[in-house]
Each structure stands twice: as C-alpha cells, then as structure tokens.
Amino acid sequence: MSTVVAQALHVFGLRPHVTNNVFFFDEQIIIFPSGNHCVKYNIDQKWQKFIAGSDKSQGMLALAISPNRRYLAISETVQEKPAVTIYELSSIPCRKRKVLNNFDFQVQKFTSMAFSPDSKYLLTQTSPPDSNLVYWLWEKQKVMAIIKADSQNNPIYQVSISSQDNSQVCITGSGVFKLLRFAEGTLKQINFQRGESSNYLAHAWVSEDRVIVGTDTGKLFLFESGDQRWETSIMVKESTSSRSLEVIQESESLIEFPPLSSPVSSVERMDITTNTQQQAMPQVFAIAAYSKGFACSAGPGRVLLFEKVEEKDFYRESREIRIPTDQQSNDPSQSDKQDVLCLCFSPSEETLIASTNKNQLYSITMSLTEISKGEAAHFEYLLYPLHSASITGLDTCIRKPLIATCSLDRSVRIWNYESNTLELYKEYQEEAYTVSLHPSGHYIVVGFADKLRLMNLLIDDIRPFKEYSVRGCKECSFSNGGHLFAAVNGNVIHIFTTTSLENINILKGHTGKILREIPAFDVIYTSITISHSGRMIFVGTSVGTIRAMKYPLSLQKEYNEYQAHAGPVMKMLLTFDDQFLLTVGEDGCLFTWKVFDKDGRGIKREREVGFAEEVLVTKTDMEEKAQIMLELKTRVEELKMENEYQLRLKDMNYTEKIKELTDKFIQEMESLKTKNQVLKTEKEKQDISHRERLEELVDKQTRELQDLECCNNQKLLLEYEKYQELQLKSQRMQEEYEKQLRDNDETKSQALEELTEFYEAKLQEKTGLLEEAQEDVRQQLREFEETKKQIEEDEDREIQDIKTKYERKLRDEKESNLRLKGETGIMRKKFSSLQKEIEERTNDIELLKSEQMKLQGIIRSLEKDIQGLKREIQERDETIQDKEKRIYDLKKKNQELEKFKFVLDYKIKELKKQIEPRENEIKVMKEQIQEMEAELERFHKQNTQLELNITELLQKLRATDQEMRKEQQKERDLEALVRRFKTDLHNCVAYIQEPGLLKEKIRGLFEKYVQRADMVEIAGLNSDLQQEYARQREHLERNLATLKKKVIKEGELHRTDYVRIMQENVSLIKEINELRRELKLTRSQIYDLESALKVSKKTRSQEVPESVISKDVVGSTSTMRLNEQEETGRIIEMQRLEIRRLRDQIQEQEQVPGFHTIAGVRLPSIVDSDVDFEVHTK
C-alpha cells in the first residue's frame, strides 16, 4: 500500500499563553497561533492557511510581525533549546528566511519580540534569571547589542521599538520601565524611574518619543523622552446594558446560538474569583495605538478608547467596548468577565480585534463605536465560540457532516466539518469527559462527572431525555447500527439499548495476550485510529504530532509525521468515508485533516446517499411556532384591511386636490401666454436699439486702437532708455560696494592688530583705541545702512512702477486681442516682443535681488565679528575688576585676624582649664556602666534558664498534638471505610430483582468487610489508648499550671530589677548627652581658634613664635580628646545594642502564655540617645 499523506484543512481553536497572539496581515487576513501552527485566516472568504512550527518543537511562546507585513518571527523551544524562526509571508507557501538558534549568551526562552520600523532589526527579551535584552541584525544573524534588562530578575512582559526610530527601545515589566537608545554598539538607558515603581503590564508608542504605559492598578501614564507628561486612573464601571443583550446570530450557521462565555475549570474559576475580589482596580493587559489615540483593556470584559485632545498633551476617554454576556452559561453574570490580553487594529483602522484569557477572539468595526453615543458598544465573535480548556471527547456520525466535542470547560459543541462552522453549543454545571454521536446525528451520549446523559440534538438546543447513574464515565460509544451504546465505569463496561433505554449487559475488564509490540521511537502514543477500510492507521503522540502509517505495521520507521497540537493528542478518528482525519488535543484545538495518498489523490470511497438535512424539533416548539404563525397571519390580514381603507381615503383626497390644481394651472397658463406676447414685442424693440449701439461701439473701438498703438510705441522707447540707465547705475553701485568692503576689510585688520598690541601692553590704551574703532565702525554702518535703504527704496519704487505699468498694458492688450483676433496679426508680434522684454527685465531684477542678498550676508558676518570682539573686551574688563575686589577684601581680612589673634589665645587657655574636670566625670560614668553590664549578664543567664524550661514544655505539648492527630486520622479512615461500605451496599440494591447477582454481591461484601479477625482487638486497644491519653493529658496540664505560676513569680521579680536598671540607664544617657553637647561647643571654639592661628601663622610666623607652641599644645590636647570621645562612643554603642537585645528577649517572654508585663510600666525609648549620638559622631 502507498504511504498516506494528511494535510491540515481547518482548525477550531486558539493557542493560549502566547505573547502578541493576534495581528493583521492585511485588511482581510489575520494571523493567530493554533496548536503548533500559525493560521492565516481570511475574515470574508473564511479560508485558512497554515504556517507549521519547527520539527520537534515544544510550542510557540511569542510572535512578532514586521511593520511592512513581510516577515513573521516565532519564538519556540526546539528540543529544549530556544530558537527564533523568521518566515517570509510574501512567498506562497510561507518559507523560512532565517533561524536564530546559535547564541553566545545564556538563554532559556524568548518571551517577547519586536521588529524595527524598517524591519531590519529584531529586539528579543529572554526569561529570568538571565533577562537579557538582545538587539539583532537578523538578516546576518548578528547581535548588535545585548544588555541585562533587570538586575533583580523581575519578569519582563513586553519589549518594543519606536514606530519611527530604530534606535529607541522600550521595555516594561514588574517594577521595570526603561527607555533605551541604541548608539555606538550599546543600549544605553535614557530615563530614570522616580518615586515608587509599579507593575507595568503593557505599553504602546503613540509617536516618535511618546509612550503610553499601563499598570496592574488601572493607571495609564504618558511618557515623553522618559519624562511623565500625563497620568489617569481607570475606574471600574458595572455594565448595565450587558444583561439585556440579544442573542448573537452566526451568519454561516444553520441555527442560532448565544455568545460563548468560555468557562474554565473549577480550580481556575476559584483562583479567578479570589483574584477579582482582591483587585479593586482593573488591570491594563493590552494597549494598541491608532491615528486618533489608543485603545486599552480596562479590567475584565472591558476595552476603552482614548482620543487625543487637540492642542494639548493628554487624552480623554471617548468610547467603551464590552464583551457580551452569555445567556446560556451556567453563570451569565460572570460569563463576560474575561481579561483582554491582546488588541490590534486593521491597517485602515476600521476593525479592532481582541483576544482573551479564555482563548476567544472578538472583533468590532470602529464605525459602530462612533454610532453608539453614550452607551457601551459590544464585541462580536470573530470566528465562533471556541473551547477554553482541554478537549476530552470527540466523535462523528455517518448521516451528517457533524463533529461532537466535549471539554473540561463544561461545554458540549457540535461542529460542521463541511461548512467549517459551529452548529450547536451548550454549557453545563459539571465537567464532560467523553461524548459519542448516534450514526444518524440526532442523538448524543455525554459522560459527566456525576452522570451519563442521553440527549437529543434539536434545531437550537441539546436537550437531555435520559440519565444514568454512571459516575466518572471516561469513554462511551454508539454501536455501528446505533441500536446500542456502551459506557465505561472503571473496569466495567455497561451496555444499553437505544430502544428501551435499559442496561442489557455488563462487561468486566480482562487481561488479554499482547500479539505484537511496535516501538514508539522516543515518544508516547496517546491515541490511535484505524481507517474503515483497514489499510491505514494514524497515531497521536504526547508531543502533539501525528504519525500516518501503512497497515499492517512494520518495525522500521515507515511513517509520515506532522506538526499538529501544542500538547498531547487526546482523541483522533476518521470520518466514515475516510476522507477526513479529526484530532483534538490538550491545548483545546480541533484540527480537520484531508487524507491523500502519496500521489496527491484523495482516498475515494463511494457514497450511495448524500448527507441528511433533517433536524429534530419538539412538538411544543412546533406548536408554539405554528401559533406564532397564525397570530402573524391574522395580524397581516388586519394590516391589509387597514392599509386598503387608508389608501381609499388618500385617493379621494388626492383626486380633489388634483382638480383644484388643474384649474389653477389653466388660469396661470392663460396669464403667462399674454405676458409672453408682450415680452416678444419688447424684445424686438430692444434688438433694434442694441444693433445700433453695437455699430457705434465698433467705430469707437477702431479709433481707440489706433491711438493706443501710437502711444504704446512711444512709451516702449522711453522705458528701454530708462532700463539702460538703471543698468549703468547698478554697475556703479556694485563697484562702490566692492570698494567699501575692501576698505572695511583693511580697516578691520588694522584695528585688530592695533587692539591686540595695545591690549598686551596696557589696558587703558587698548580701551581708547577700541572706542575710536567702535565709533568709526558705527559711522560706517550708519552710512552703509542709509545708502542701502535709499537704494532699496528707489529700486522698489521703480520696480513697482514698472510692474504696474506693464500689468495694465498687458491687461489692455489681452482684452483687445480677445475681441479682435482676426484683425490683430501685427499686434500679436508686437505683444510677443513686449513679453520677451518683460521676461528679460524680470530676470535682470531677480539677478539684482540675489546680488543684494549676497551683500547683506557679508554685512551680517561683519556685524557678528564686531559683536564678538565687544564681548571679549567686556568679559576681560569684568575679570580684572573682580580680581581687584578680591585682593582688597583679603587685605581687610588679614588685618581683622591679626586683631583677634591675641584675644583667642587667652580664651584657649581658659577652655583647657574647663575641660579637665569634665574628663574626670566621664571616667566615673564609665565605671558605673561596667557595673551595669555585669548585672545585665546575670539577668541574661537567668533568662536563658527560663527559656530552656519553656522549650521542654513546648516539646511535650507537640508530642501530645501528634498523638491526637494520629487518633483523628484513624477516625477518618474508619469513616472512609463506612462510606465505601455504603456505596457498595447501594450498588447491591440495584440487583434486588436478580437473586443470583445479589447473592454474589453480598458474598463479596462479606469477604471484603466482615472477615477481619482483628476488629475486636482494635476496638479494645482504642479504648485503652484513650484512657492512657486522658491520664497523661491531666498530668501534663498540672505540670503546665505549676510552671506557669513559677514563671509569673520570677517575671514579677525580674521586672522590678529591669525597670530600676532602665531608669538608671536613662539618667546616665541624659548626663552623657549633656556632656557631649558641651564637648561639641568647646571643639567648635577650638577649631575656630586653630583656623585663625593658622592664618596668622602664615603672616606673622617670625614675629610671634609663642603662638606656634600654643597651637601644638592645642592640637595634641584636641587629638587626645577626640580619642577619648571615640572610646566613650563605642562604649555607649555597645550598651545600646545590649539594651535592644534585652528588649527583644522580654518581648519573646511576653509571648509565652501566662507571662505579661506590669500594667503602667513602659521602658524608655532609646531613639533620643541614638539621634544625639549620631549628631555628635558627625
């Protein structure tokens, strides 16, 4: 047999946990991940094309599309190694362009990616603990820059590059918001966080240097070049209109179904509810920018549109968009509480698409948001309601192209693999484990956690009509003929009939002999299906791949492997005609595959009868619809009668109005005829008068033309002479300007030389020369400006006069030419010559203007040079004045210091005499502190002994607690045994009408529970243990009471000693602080005296030698005092640490039961002493 080939045809599902999981390829095509593929989906034509993941890939982690829509980057983990694959989307099919998998740095996986605006560079972010931000030139697989995004290994949620600048990069994460710039081969941070750091979840660039950032507390920030410009908080609003939404209609489905809530499992639901209760503010998971502003998620099921306020730097909320509620959900109020994880706009910004945490895709046209003013707009499903958890059951039927699936999201769905639509959907309270379709497609069996239900597939509902008490059914199936169905419960198979709905047989598990074993080649096979023809077999693996094999199987690797799901393949089967392969996985996706042979031909199997189109409808529904039809028919007849009566009344009214109007029109027509005759006669008279006037005007025009020709010729000659004179004047002016510029250059160079020479020699002479040079320059500038103004005014006047004259002439000549085209051949020639002359003159005028601009530029440069020289002169004058002032001030200070020197010497001697008695007092205080330390050590020993006693008592209590727990565990085991006995007894009651089976069941119960010889002994032992436990408990309680009394007595004795010692400590610390203040004052005075002596020593070192001796003495004494003060400081610090340690021990003893502090006694704080000590040490 030839090798079988499977081609992916369609997928129902969205891959969760992928960063940036939906975006537009063009206006009609979107790209999103599903299974281990990326899907290109056409919204209008409903077709899908697949971009398969890499071989042996363990799943996609992040996506990114280039701004030019040509490249797609996919982050994957291939054979436990990270890789980034870049696909070229323009080629058909999409091909791999580059694979980035060789790294010189540590990386576990890439969590976020972004392309640069020109699509040449790629920015990637790795996961903690590395957290590397890598800037790639991806075409050459070259790392341009790499930097650690966060030193604290906080998670990074999103990275991006500015939409207009390749070098600007933004990253956001938990407590991380950084703006980086790529320059000189490195990424440098250009902003610095101020204040408290927030958990930044998402961001978007709204301009070249502006970024909108959202946090987990519902706050939005606008940063411009790293500085915060705007901030707002999103408030939580309860949806009022969402409860009264109408049912959404799916256009391609055969029936109507409500929108999906996409529920999650019970554990996840509890986590979500607790999180929502804890979170008072909405979390901003996604932000998308567009031309008017941006859109952001604002909590569960809510998206807000912000528009920029004109001529201001902030945004205002313009629209609100909500996810619709699901009326068929088991909890409709919570069905719309889905977190929006990704937002994207179409290229024309006409459509907004959102993906949620429940694997749903929603869309809305932006025009609808503008229509709904004041009320919140609502999303619609982009595809159809999808599974949000692992799919556990799969089945198909024969008579209809239907697929039935059930999932851990507590829903059952019916799909149509021919039209690729969702037919039916219903959600339940329990999780569904297995599903089976009747061959006719009219019935379905679903195994729930508590029961097995047999249900009808109606036109708009899945309605149960029989329930069986089969708990935890993991597998069920209809027979080929549909007259039987089987359900599995543990190792027991129950067989039921579909006619009488009774259990006709029970099959127990067996241990058969393995005939043949085929190796799986490094994977685990999770599901298998064989074709109805028996010639091919398909196997699903634990890594999500599908293997197509020929049958019978061989021991060699003879199979084709295809990438399918992002998790283990849960179920798979072939349709009845072997044309399609259906697979479902743990990722919640349903794939349909087209089956071919190796030559590309479909596997043909003749079908005698086409698919059935019948559907089930209940009698009550039909009666209700028939009643509604009758009511509508009667209503239509009544409306017809009313409309006919109203039409007759309108006809009567209209006929009367028509008669009146016809009479009026006839009268008006007659009056208009008379008026027309009168007007004709007047017209003839006016024609005659106009002809006479025209003849007169033609004669006048010919005379005036002749006169104008003569005058124009004379004026042209005069203007030409004036033009020549102006040219001569302009040449002379140019020569004069050049001479003046040369003279200015010469004078400037001479003045600069003279100024430099005089400035080096004497400042006074230089200032005089500069003033003279300035006066000369000012006079020249004034003359030049006056001449310039006069010339410009004269030229402007002449040019304006010439322009006005020639414009008038041109207008007159154009009018004459239009009127007399046939007779003005000669005038055309003259007019063309005049135009040429005018163009030449305008060109000459433009040349003169350009020359004037050049001259003005030269003048401006000269003015700038003059201003620079002036500034230099002023600055140097100021520096000279400042230096003279400083010298004068220093002389005065020296005189004053000499006066105070003698007075300070006398004061130093007196201060030395005052310091000696204070030192003696400090020694006495040290001795007292040492005595206190000895007392503290004694108390510490007593406390340690008490702690040992307490630990012994605690160990005894723990032992008693452990024994109590063991007894409680025994009681639980006995209760569990009783429950099992009750359940088994309940199962035996079901066979009350079958004595044989009942007898076997009761005998099994007897063997299982009754025949235990040690039951009596265990009961006796339990009573003895309880008595022993009570006796030991009483003994321990008595010991505890006596120990508590001892601890309380000893604690009271120690408290009085502690209070006395602490009071003495406080008094000593106060005295020490007073002594420190006095020492500080004396040291400051000594320091001032020493500084004064140092200054006087420099000036009068030879005159007063005694001051040197006094200075040395003071320095030696000061160093001695400093050493002593350091010693006292160390001693005090040690005492302070000991006091803190004692306080901690007292607090620990207070926590012991029975030990309490004396009421009203409070230990003094050591904060004041700490502050004083820090001040003195500084």
- Checking if the pLDDT of 952 tops 90, the result is no
Amino acid at 551: Y
Determine how many CB atoms are found less than 10 A away from the CB of residue 172. 25
The overall average pLDDT reported for the chain is 81
Burial state string for 1145-1155 with b = 16 or more CB within 10 A and e = fewer than 16: bbeebeebeeb
pLDDT recorded at residue 1012:
54
Cα–Cα distance list, 25 to 15, 28, 66, 203, 885 (Å): 18, 8, 10, 21, 76
- Checking if the pLDDT of 514 tops 70, the result is no
What 3-state DSSP class applies to 41? Answer: strand
- Checking if the pLDDT of 729 tops 90, the result is no
CA distance 49 to 32: 11
- Checking if the pLDDT of 47 tops 80, the result is yes
Q: pLDDT tier at 372 (50, 70, 90 boundaries)? A: low
What 3-state DSSP class applies to 974? Answer: helix
Cis? peptide before 93, omega within 30° of 0? yes
Give pLDDT tens digits for 1037-1049.
Answer: 888 888 888 888 8
- Checking if the pLDDT of 491 tops 90, the result is no
CA distance 236 to 233: 10
Between residues 160 and 789, the one the model is more confident about? 160
Burial state string for 993-1030 with b = 16 or more CB within 10 A and e = fewer than 16: eeeeeeeebeeeeeeeeeeeeeeeeeeeeeeeeeeeee
Q: State mean pLDDT over 978-1007.
A: 84
CA distance 137 to 427: 49
| CA dihedral over 188, 191, 195, 200, signed as positive or negative | negative
- Checking if the pLDDT of 269 tops 70, the result is no
pLDDT recorded at residue 296:
93
Determine how many CB atoms are found less than 10 A away from the CB of residue 38. 24
Cis? peptide before 129, omega within 30° of 0? yes
Q: pLDDT tier at 486 (50, 70, 90 boundaries)? A: very high
Give pLDDT tens digits for 106-137.
Answer: 888 999 999 999 889 999 999 888 888 999 99
Contact call for residues 172 and 200 (beta carbons, < 8 A): yes
60: exposed, middle or buried (Cβ count in 10 Å: 0-12, 13-18, 19+): buried
Q: State mean pLDDT over 616-629.
A: 87
Half-sphere exposure of 207 (CA within 13 A, CB side): 10
Contact call for residues 410 and 430 (beta carbons, < 8 A): yes
Q: Match 């890594």 to its residue by tokens.
A: 543
pLDDT recorded at residue 603:
62
CA distance 849 to 431: 89
Q: State mean pLDDT over 986-1014.
A: 78
Contact call for residues 301 and 239 (beta carbons, < 8 A): yes
- Checking if the pLDDT of 1016 tops 80, the result is no
Residue 535 is given by DSSP the state: S
The pairing of beta strand 351-356 with beta strand 340-345:
antiparallel
Taking alpha carbons only, the member of 1069, 1062, 1082 closest to residue 1173 is 1069
Contact call for residues 61 and 76 (beta carbons, < 8 A): yes
Taking alpha carbons only, the member of 512, 510, 511, 546 closest to residue 527 is 546
Q: pLDDT tier at 267 (50, 70, 90 boundaries)? A: very low
For the record, the structure tokens of 1018 come out as 């265990």
For the record, the structure tokens of 289 come out as 């920018």
CA distance 581 to 9: 10
220-223 contacts at long range (C-beta below 8 A, 24 or more positions apart)? 220/284, 220/296, 220/306, 222/313, 222/314, 222/315, 223/177, 223/179, 223/191
Q: State mean pLDDT over 1079-1084.
A: 84
Amino acid at 844: D
pLDDT recorded at residue 280:
58
In the chain, what are the helix, strand and coil shares in percent, each to the nearest 5?
A: 45, 25, 30
Cα–Cα distance list, 990 to 488, 982, 983, 985, 1055 (Å): 18, 13, 11, 9, 75
Q: pLDDT tier at 572 (50, 70, 90 boundaries)? A: very high
Determine how many CB atoms are found less than 10 A away from the CB of residue 714. 9
CA distance 598 to 600: 5
Q: State mean pLDDT over 1142-1149.
A: 76
Q: pLDDT tier at 1096 (50, 70, 90 boundaries)? A: low
Half-sphere exposure of 408 (CA within 13 A, CB side): 18
- φ/ψ of 20, rounded to 5, equals 60, 65
CA distance 75 to 109: 8
Q: No. of H helices and E strands in the chain?
A: 10, 49
Helix axes 1106-1150, 1015-1099, angle to 10 degrees: 170
Taking alpha carbons only, the member of 1172, 1110, 1111 closest to residue 1136 is 1172
Contact call for residues 350 and 369 (beta carbons, < 8 A): no
- Checking if the pLDDT of 1011 tops 60, the result is no
Between residues 613 and 257, the one the model is more confident about? 613
307-310 contacts at long range (C-beta below 8 A, 24 or more positions apart)? 308/206
Least confident of 253-267, 304-318, 663-677, 802-816: 253-267
pLDDT recorded at residue 1014:
47
Least confident of 257-261, 796-800, 1020-1024: 257-261
Give pLDDT tens digits for 210-231.
Answer: 999 999 888 999 988 888 888 8
List of residues 6+ apart from 940 with CB closer than 8 A: 1142, 1145
Q: Match 């008669």 to its residue by tokens.
A: 659
832: exposed, middle or buried (Cβ count in 10 Å: 0-12, 13-18, 19+): exposed
Question: pLDDT exceeding 70 applies to what percent of the chain?
Answer: 87
Contact call for residues 32 and 63 (beta carbons, < 8 A): no
Between residues 395 and 896, the one the model is more confident about? 395
pLDDT recorded at residue 406:
94
pLDDT recorded at residue 487:
93
Cα–Cα distance list, 549 to 363, 394, 527 (Å): 41, 21, 14
Taking alpha carbons only, the member of 754, 785, 765 closest to residue 862 is 785
Between residues 435 and 1010, the one the model is more confident about? 435
CA distance 944 to 951: 11
User: Edge to edge, what strands does the sheet with 210-215 contain?
Assistant: 200-205, 210-215, 219-224, 227-233
Taking alpha carbons only, the member of 813, 798, 800 closest to residue 712 is 813
